[in-house]
Amino acid sequence: MGFSALLASALCTFLLPLLLFLAAGKLWDLYCVRGRDPACRLPLPPGTMGLPFFGETLQLVLQRRRFLQMKRRRYGFIYKTHLFGSPTVRVMGAENVRQILLGEHRLVSVQWPASVRTILGAGCLSNLHDGQHKLRKKVIMRAFSREALQHYIPVIQQEVSACLAQWLRRDGSGCLLVYPEVKRLMFRIAMRLLLGFEPHQPGPGSEQQLVEAFEEMIRNLFSLPIDVPFSGLYRGLRARNIIHAKIEENIRARLSRQQQEPGPAAAGGYKDALQLLLDHTQQNGEQLNMQELKESATELLFGGHETTASAATSLITFLGLHHHVLQKVREELQVKGLLSSTSQDKQLDMEVLEQLKYIGCVIKETLRLNPPVPGGFRVALKTFELNGYQIPKGWNVIYRICDTHDVAELFTNKDEFNPDRFMSPFPEDSSSRFSFIPFGGGLRSCVGKEFARVLLKIFTVELARNCDWQLLNGPPTMKTGPIVYPVDNLPTKFRSFNGQV
């Protein structure tokens, strides 16, 4: 009797887990490795699917760029993997990406990983579909009209000038870590212009607390969809709740002021994006959905400061490494009367910014080499063909921006920082058009791309005519988490520019 009990115990302890493991492996093989659509004769893309349930998510999270570069070298421009709980096809190359971006609502639909959808929320623009997406985008785009951008310019110029003056006052105190400083600058600008409130006050809900909450939220956006204490998703949600609490406080204060003082909601002839959303809700007689407003505002802050901070940091990097490019920037400013000491207080406007063609090319080249957002997420609405492979219905599709830039045949000497390559217009064919996609493309191209261009131009103008600088560690190693940034935060020493070209 004792032997039988011992045998049964051994079977339960060792054999049953082994059988369960083998069954899970078999199911994994059927679901992922052989998960092709039998109605389609085309093969699945090459690639590996990793471990059951986890797939290759852990390798991606831990290795990031190294993992992706290894995959590209081994499998080419289209390959399969398993990420964030779903079988996934990763896609790069202008023609392949063109089919994905122009296939919205027909071949694919937006679908971010579960952790992103949970943290950012179902009410944000990135997660809306069809008519809801079209209507919300139309409302928000009014905040990025040419007229609105013209109103934003003095505020951007004021914030950038004040920030650079502060950097220069630290001249004798050693190095400055550029990336965190630029993030704070871009956060202040986004808070003022997109959400219409000042983040300068001390105490709870202060600028520094909100910046830290955003960093924690963004660090955990792409995590396993497991909401337990100390998990990435748990930490991301806690950080998001801090941000939501501050935004809700601002919304309620704004609504209270509107009730007490009926009339125009914004001075200076423009309304920020949050006000436009509030107006739309009230004008259409809809019930005020505070959760959707908070989610939309959080998304605007994320897009309005994280991506521009990444791009501005890369601008400092490339101009610091290529002094002849900085020299050409200053020559353009001098020709436009924007470099001399008497022009330092001159207010910029849309017309002047549009004339700065070379600076526009510097920004494009920066976004080519270091696009802040590495790619986008879609899901296949039906099984379809892509370059000789089948993409099964229900599989996730990730299109890669940075890799598409890297492999684009349109660009020669791809690793060279050469803004002059953008001085000539692109060929008109569709493949060339999708060789450069820092803001995505198709129906879901970035709503704030014109805002980003204006902001980065003003930043470049003020930087070039006020500062000289030295990168203390030389060219930085870049990391994606999920926005592209320098691992060492770009330690740099700034000094005043003497105005001599």
- The DSSP bridge pattern shows strands 78-83 and 86-91 to be antiparallel
DSSP-assigned beta bridge partners for residue 82 = 87
Q: In the chain, what is the straight-line distance between the N-terminal and C-terminal CA atoms, in Å?
A: 96
Sign of the alpha-carbon dihedral angle for 12, 18, 19, 20: positive
Amino acid at 346: K
Distance, in Å, from the CA atom of 370 to the CA atom of 350, rounded to the nearest integer, reads: 26
* Residue pair 111/419 in contact by the 8 Å Cβ criterion: no
Q: Would you say 446 is a known binding-site residue?
A: yes
In angstroms, the Cα distances linking 286 to 71, 126, 249, 265, 297 are 48, 21, 21, 19, 18
* Residues 6+ positions from 488 with CB-CB distance below 8 Å: 473, 476, 477
CA atoms within 13 A on the CB side of 302: 28
Burial class (CB in 10 A: 0-12, 13-18, 19+), 253: exposed
Distance, in Å, from the CA atom of 463 to the CA atom of 266, rounded to the nearest integer, reads: 30
Q: Which stretches does DSSP call E strand in 150-225?
A: 176-177
- The DSSP bridge pattern shows strands 86-91 and 396-400 to be parallel
Q: How would you write 404-452 as a 3-class SS string?
A: HHHHCCCCCCCCCCCHHHHCCCCCCCHHHHCCCCCCCCHHHCCCCHHHH
Nearest residue to 342 (alpha-carbon basis) of 330, 334, 354, 350: 334
Q: Which two tokens stand for residue 282?
A: 């009230």
Q: Which two tokens stand for residue 438?
A: 């820092």
* Residue pair 343/411 in contact by the 8 Å Cβ criterion: no
* Residues 6+ positions from 256 with CB-CB distance below 8 Å: none
* Residue pair 417/325 in contact by the 8 Å Cβ criterion: yes
Summarize the annotated binding site for heme as residue ranges. 446
Summarize the annotated binding site as residue ranges. 446
